[in-house]
Structure 1
């Protein structure tokens, strides 16, 4: 039998693991018995690995934004994962370099997302309240 003490949100819990058989653990939490199904057992690692969502690689950095040839559209991308709390433009709006196009909340901070080139908004890819990943398009400028 293994015994552990946990403190969760200021509450202390005494956990005793009596046995584990066929993926079912017989445990007691504060002297109340439970049968717990083990879904997946995690292996111990020397250093905890930080898992990040897979994101398409960002284009190679350039000294200044370059307008695409042939009138193709390019996206204003999210610089980090977060939640869109405002989209400041509509489809058809003309935007200038540096103009605020959206507001992203990340790590409890509001971040203004600015257009990296001038042009016309041809699509809005993220709406207010959407969770987005780093590198995801917020709007497309044509």
Structure 2
């Protein structure tokens, strides 16, 4: 179970606890077995049990924010959460369709694929690989 070394009056004692039941402990001191009875019973620490009740609220799917359309017909792709850009899969002038992979954003140690929600042509890429972005920061513009 557990091993301890005690130094008492320049003498070294190697103590190994073999077993414990309530207030009785079997142990070995320098290879000699002993049974020791404690004056008080050792308190055992109970691990708390987490009890959850079922949620009564209906589950609703998480809705992604739709890309913001500007007055000139441009669509901006913004960061849904703060993170770091791992890779960019498009460049200015590329034609993309709805659902195409635009970039990969790492957030909370997870890789998040950012896809196009509209078809169009990439007019601007405002981020670079390794760049940290904040939530709602514009990363790509489509027209």
Unmatched 5+ stretches in structure 1: 1-61
Equivalent residue for 1:130? 131
Q: Which has the larger radius of gyration?
A: 2
Give the match for residue 73 of structure 1: 74
Quick check: 2:67–2:78 contact (8 Å CA) kept in 1? no
CA–CA distance in structure 1, aligned partners of residues 120 and 128 of structure 2: 20
Q: Deviations over 1:2-24 (max 9, x none)?
A: xxxxxxxxxxxxxxxxxxxxxxx
Contact in 2 for aligned 1:78/1:134 (Cα 8 Å):
yes
Aligned position for 1:52: none
Following superposition of structure 1 onto structure 2, how do residues 29-108 of structure 1 map, counting pairs within 5 Å?
68=69, 71-108=72-109
The TM-score normalised by the length of structure 2 is 0.51
2:141 is aligned to 140
Cα 1:69–1:76, aligned 2, differ >3 Å: closer, same or farther? Answer: closer
Q: Name the CA distance, whole Å, in 2 between partners of 1:130 and 1:77.
A: 14
Higher RCO structure (Cα 8 Å, ≥6 apart): 1
Per the normalisation by structure 1, the TM-score is 0.51
Q: Which residue of 2 aligns with 1:117?
A: 118
Cα RMSD for the two superposed structures: 2.5
Aligned length: 81
Distance 2:67 2:107 in 1: 27
C-alpha distance after superposition, 1:86-111 (max 9, x if no partner): 01001000011111100000001100
CA distance in 2, matches of 1:87, 1:116: 16
Greater than 3 Å deviation, 4+ residue runs: 62-71
Counterpart CA distance in 2 for 1:125 and 1:66 is 15
Unaligned runs of 5+ in 2: 1-62
